[in-house]
Structure 1
Amino acid sequence: MKNLLQTTSNLEKLKIEMESTYIDGYQWKTIIENYLLNLIIFQFKMSTPLSNQDNKEDKIDEILNSFYSQFWIEKHQWFIQCYWITADTSSIVYVYTLPYAFQDFFYIGNVRLKSTCPNNNQYEFPFNIKHSSIRQLDLQGPNIIYNQQQCLKLSHSLIGQQCKVLFITVKQRTDIIDLINNMKNLHALIVQCNKTIPMQKENENLLDWLQQHLPITCLISNSIEISNNICLWIR
């Protein structure tokens, strides 16, 4: 990457997503000061593993401290956020610039967020997301179930209004109708409805019920790729 960036000295905007690759703030500062002197807009998303031997809080602080300098905070006002799952003994920490600049975001609850931004509350997830680039939102995870109030709150939020693809588990079938009716830009909904009766039978009943309560322009089927989920395509 260093060799590539050496040839782009006039670059004013850099947006980069690096899966399983991490460059800390000290290294980025050196690269930018040496090769990207004209850079104005810098957006990135990176990840790095956290092993069960790591003290997670110390590791997160170490990551953020590399971006906590006059170069990042005052000169460029490029703020960084870390996102990680607290329940995992071994997990991935995602490191990205704020506001979030990529189209998909994976959220399963039981997470921690920490950033260099002075007003960190404006970037809380999932309801207060104000990142205009996000179009796909994955809210499914172990024991993460959205009730009617939460579904309505999500559907009326900024992220709910701009979301095109949503993965979610809801408490009752009427929540599905609320999401479809209120999320104006929703194109695809991959949903699981939490019920105590056997899942296969519930899905069969739910398919019939949805076909009766949704317009014929909605295509409905069981998910082939994701077990116990129903897919809806809204046209």
Structure 2
Amino acid sequence: MKNLLQTMSNLEKLKIEMESTYIDGYQWKTIIENYLLNLIIFQFKMSTPLSNQDNKEDKIDEILNSFYSQFWIEKHQWFIQCYWITADTSSIVYVYTLPYAFQDFFYIGNVRLKSTCPNNNQCWSFDSIHNLYYGHFLSQNLSLSHIHLDNIHYLDLTIPFDESFWLMVSTLERLNSLNIVLYSNKDLIDIHSKLQILFDRSPHLC
């Protein structure tokens, strides 16, 4: 990665998504100051594992601290967010710039968010998300109601789901592709009712 970026000194915009690859804020700062002096727009999404042995909060703070500096906050106003699952098992933490700049978003409930943005109201823009993978089960009642997804074209939805889904997805006007995963069929009447509401709010589904 470093060798590639060394050849792009005139780069003004960089958008990069790295699966299972993580570069901390100190390393990015060094790369940018040495090789990308003309960079104006910087958008990334990275991930790094969290193990059972990790204190998750301490690990998240360690990640975010590398992006807390005058270089990130004041000079460029590039703000970073961490997204991770709060379960006890091993998990992945996603690290990305705000506003979120990528088309895919995975939400499976029991998640936490923490960012370097001093005013979240200025950073909560998720308009770029077109593909939502939503697996928020009823037993997981932690919602992210401050995230509003109004531009969904593809929806992968686990059923049953609760009302927190509609707090995040206020409209399905642009939805044209739907994949449903039936997690439980204990209450078929409720499932049918939720599906009917979903279809009624999705005018462009064929």
Contact in 1 for aligned 2:110/2:140 (Cα 8 Å)? no
Question: Do the aligned partners of residues 167 and 44 (structure 1) sit closer, same or farther apart at CA in structure 2, a change above 3 Å counting?
Answer: same
Distance 1:170 1:145 in 2: 13
Distance 1:185 1:82 in 2: 28
Q: 1:225 corresponds to which residue?
A: none
Q: Deviations over 1:90-127 (max 9, x none)?
A: 1110000000000000011101100000113566xxxx
C-alpha RMSD of the superposition: 3.4
**Considering only CA atoms, is the larger Rg found in Structure 1 or Structure 2?**
1
Count residues with an aligned counterpart: 192
Contact in 2 for aligned 1:145/1:170 (Cα 8 Å)? no
CA-CA distance at 1:190 after TM superposition: 2.0
- Segments of 5+ residues of structure 2 without an aligned counterpart are 162-170
Match of 1:162, SS state, is: coil
Matched, 1:137 2:132: yes
Distance 1:23 1:11 in 2: 19
**Structure 2: which amino acid aligns with 1:137?**
L
CA-CA distance at 1:191 after TM superposition: 2.6
Distance 1:30 1:171 in 2: 47
Contact in 1 for aligned 2:133/2:155 (Cα 8 Å)? yes
Distance 1:11 1:51 in 2: 36
| Percent identity (aligned) | 69
**Structure 2: which amino acid aligns with 1:196?**
K
CA-CA distance at 1:131 after TM superposition: 1.6
Distance 1:34 1:165 in 2: 40
Name segments (4+ residues, structure 1) moved above 6 Å.
none
Match of 2:113, SS state, is: strand
Question: Do the aligned partners of residues 185 and 47 (structure 1) sit closer, same or farther apart at CA in structure 2, a change above 3 Å counting?
Answer: same
Structure that is richer in helix per residue = 1
Match of 2:28, SS state, is: helix
Q: Deviations over 1:210-229 (max 9, x none)?
A: 7xxx79xx9xxxxxxxxxxx
TM-score computed with the length of structure 2 as normaliser: 0.80
CA-CA distance at 1:189 after TM superposition: 1.8
**Structure 2: which amino acid aligns with 1:131?**
F
Distance 1:113 1:189 in 2: 27
Distance 1:107 1:134 in 2: 12
Question: Do the aligned partners of residues 145 and 61 (structure 1) sit closer, same or farther apart at CA in structure 2, a change above 3 Å counting?
Answer: closer
Q: Which has the higher contact order (CA 8 A, sep 6+)?
A: 2
TM-score computed with the length of structure 1 as normaliser: 0.70
Q: 1:164 corresponds to which residue?
A: 153
Match of 1:42, SS state, is: strand
Mapping of 1:47-58 within 5 angstroms? 47-58=47-58
Matched, 1:234 2:200: no
- Segments of 5+ residues of structure 1 without an aligned counterpart are 124-128, 173-181, 219-232
Question: Do the aligned partners of residues 158 and 143 (structure 1) sit closer, same or farther apart at CA in structure 2, a change above 3 Å counting?
Answer: closer
